[in-house]
Amino acid sequence: MNRLSKALIWFIVSFLVFHIILYIMWGEKQEYWYLYTGIMLIAGVSYVFYQRDIESKRLLTSLGIGIITGIVLIVIQLIIAAIATDIKYAELIKELTRTGVYYKWQMLVTLVFVIPCHELYMRTVLQKELLKLNLPSWLGIIITAFCSASLFYYLDNLWIVFFVFIVQIVLSLSYFYTRRIATTVIAQIVAVVILLIFNA
């Protein structure tokens, strides 16, 4: 079996620390956005491990896949929202408010900084390194989705955890195809913008 890389060791250690922080602050839901944002900015240190994958698709192809993936995420949200009211747009906005998101600048920070840092952390450091361990691709995708969704467990809403897990599986699949985090970043930004436009 291949030895664990420095990047994967960094992920394991930091991921455990992040969970400890969220566990200690469990119940302080109004502080969650600040905690999660801070955690993802720290996770941005993962940039030191970033290297372009030689198997990555061309940038325009990756961006196109990102846009398509963003639309797929909207469809997923609509399907799950039909089953669970907690995933309806209005309820998601209420949940955001409960986590401390009150202003438009906070959404801007999320789109510009938090999402890219999250993708850098989950794709470049975790999913990519799992691929190097020669694990089955499907297992790497599930592990990445599970790790990402687990950070939302402290919101005490399992429907949100389930929704994030499904979304992350789709994002992991898109990354596996293009090997570019630009794909997953664009997908989430497209999904958020479409939701904001059609629910304004």
Q: Is the pLDDT of residue 99 over 90?
A: no
For residue 110, name the pLDDT band (cuts at 50, 70, 90). Answer: confident
pLDDT at 93 over 90: no
DSSP string, 149-167: HHTTGGGS-HHHHHHHHHH
- C-alpha 181/C-alpha 185 separation (Å) is 6
26 pLDDT tier (thresholds 50, 70, 90): confident
Is residue 19 within 8 A of residue 58, CB to CB? The reply is no
Judge whether 151 and 106 are in contact, CB under 8 Å.
no
**30 touches 98 (CB < 8 A):** yes
pLDDT of the residue at 41 = 85
What is the mean predicted confidence (pLDDT) over 42-48?
A: 76
End-to-end CA distance of the chain: 52
Per-residue pLDDT, averaged over 39-43, amounts to 85
User: Which helix (H) or strand (E) is 25 found in, with range?
Assistant: none
The reported pLDDT for the residue numbered 158 is 94
**pLDDT, position 53:** 61
68-86 residue pLDDT tens: 999 999 999 999 999 999 8
Q: What pLDDT digit, counting tens, does each position of 113-154 carry?
A: 888 889 989 998 899 889 888 889 999 999 999 999 999 999
Residue 6 scores a pLDDT above 80: yes
pLDDT of 50 > 80? The answer is no
Entry pTM:
0.89
